[in-house]
Amino acid sequence: MFDKLFGRGKKSPDQALQPDIPFGRYSDNNKTVEKVRRWTEADDLFKQQSYYDSIAAFFDYLADDKVGNVILNRNNDRGTFQLYQGSKIVRGEFDREGLKAEITLARMPQASIPVMRRLLDMNFNLYYSRFALDNDRLCMRFDSDISAANPNRLYYGLKEMAIKADKLDDLLVQEFAALQTIDTEHIIGIPDTEKEVKYHFMLTWIKETLDYAATLEADKFAGGIAYLLLALAFRIDFLICPDGKLLIELEKIVEIYFRKEEKSTEERNKGMIEGFKKLLSKTKEEVYPYLFRLKHTFSMVLPQHHTTVVDAINKAAQNVIWYRDNDYTLIGNNVMEYALTFSQYSYSLPKPLSDLVLLYMQINYRSYFEGLGFSVPYYDAQSGQFDRERINERIMQIMETWQAKYPHLVFNVDRLQFQSLLLFNSSFNTEITTLNFDAN
């Protein structure tokens, strides 16, 4: 009876067993207080010339224990390591002489002058690593004397190589017929049932967006259509998590809008619409191979001060007013969604902020998450009813989890508005602008 009165019998969907499906781009801006301390220890140990203990502490700092992205085998003053970065693996070793690391990019059975010329050009843009050819293996390599292998050098050297290789392998194989994909056995497949849900919703969202955009005047609503299309691209990136060729095509759609060209918003919209039409025409056989899971060590994008996210939200809040007041609710919701998912796409966000973005998407796209097997009864679109208690509970869980690292992190749930989805989305975003991610 007391459980019913005080809500203790109500089990949070986040406490229940949920599918282990990741969303969004990997962010290495997720280090706990203990992991940050390991970086400091690695730096102190290096200064004390305890080079091998420093290396061990450094790799422990890099390790995301939940993901299992780092493997280190050490025997006193020598050892081997592996780092997972998307479709690539960094393999390396260290001893009394130095530290060496290598990534296999692709296989080149026969020498190709165009490939070698391209890599030679790209070599000039690398600070720490370099391209190499080992028989028929196209590689990237990084090395350092042991006395110079401080945490900063290791971090930026390994990150440059890992991120560049992860991005380049698909692009090179796609562009040059002389290259073949290699060293991808570590890629984690996902069930066809999950692929089916992702494929269905990706096509459904594209069709619904294009159909709605077609009902609007292309010139008068150019800004609103741009928000619809960009929010769609970032939603697919965050929720569907495409990779390989499919991700490249999606990124090209986004690039159409942000490319520095003298084109009107209407012209950019036309280009994005054509890109989405190509995605819409894809069969399961063309999409399924690019739906899989990967482990990452480094973020593809850089962290930014929270004011950058605040600026994106505030700009969206100003732009949403007209759509709200003139009953273009769908556009208004997409404007607010854009502010969060653009930030998730473009920046390495702190983990609690990424968790809040995920909650936001679970509220707005309940049917998609339920299709994947999640229990997310935060909002019922048919009745327009919110489960305030569950939403507030999940927000408080996120705040409490990261309180040790961000002691000033407070989300005032009392200021959330539940009269409509648009008002909720706007108030949710407004509260995100008040978050304080200062560490002390």
pLDDT digits (tens, 9 = 90+) for 3-39: 333 333 344 545 457 899 999 999 988 899 999 999 9
The tally of CA atoms less than 13 A away on the side-chain side of residue 337 is 31
**Above 90 in pLDDT, residue 389?**
yes
**Above 70 in pLDDT, residue 175?**
yes
pLDDT the model gives residue 181:
86
Lowest mean pLDDT among 123-137, 361-375, 391-405: 123-137
Structure tokens at 2: 């007391």
Q: In what order do the strands lie in the sheet with 70-75?
A: 70-75, 78-85, 88-94, 98-107, 137-145, 130-134
pTM here is 0.92
pLDDT the model gives residue 333:
97
Average pLDDT over residues 235-253: 95
**Above 70 in pLDDT, residue 326?**
yes
pLDDT the model gives residue 4:
36
For β-strands 70-75 and 130-134, DSSP reports them as: unpaired
Confidence of residue 129 (pLDDT cuts 50, 70, 90): very high
**Above 70 in pLDDT, residue 406?**
yes
pLDDT, tens digit (0-9, with 9 covering 90-100), for 32-73: 999 999 999 999 999 999 999 999 999 999 999 888 999 999
Q: What percentage of the chain has pLDDT greater than the value 90?
A: 82
d(CA 259, CA 245): 20
d(CA 151, CA 44): 10
Q: What percentage of the chain has pLDDT greater than the value 70?
A: 96
Average pLDDT over residues 101-108: 93
Structure tokens at 104: 């296999």
Of 171, 158, 182, 179, give the one whose Cα is nearest residue 104.
182
What is the average pLDDT value for the chain, to the nearest integer? 93
CATH class of 33-175: alpha beta
pLDDT the model gives residue 214:
97
Average pLDDT over residues 380-401: 96
Average pLDDT over residues 345-354: 96
pLDDT the model gives residue 1:
34
Structure tokens at 296: 């990452």
Domain ranges, ordered by start, for the chain: 1-22+299-440, 33-175, 200-287
pLDDT the model gives residue 9:
39
pLDDT, tens digit (0-9, with 9 covering 90-100), for 255-293: 999 998 889 999 999 999 999 999 999 999 999 999 999
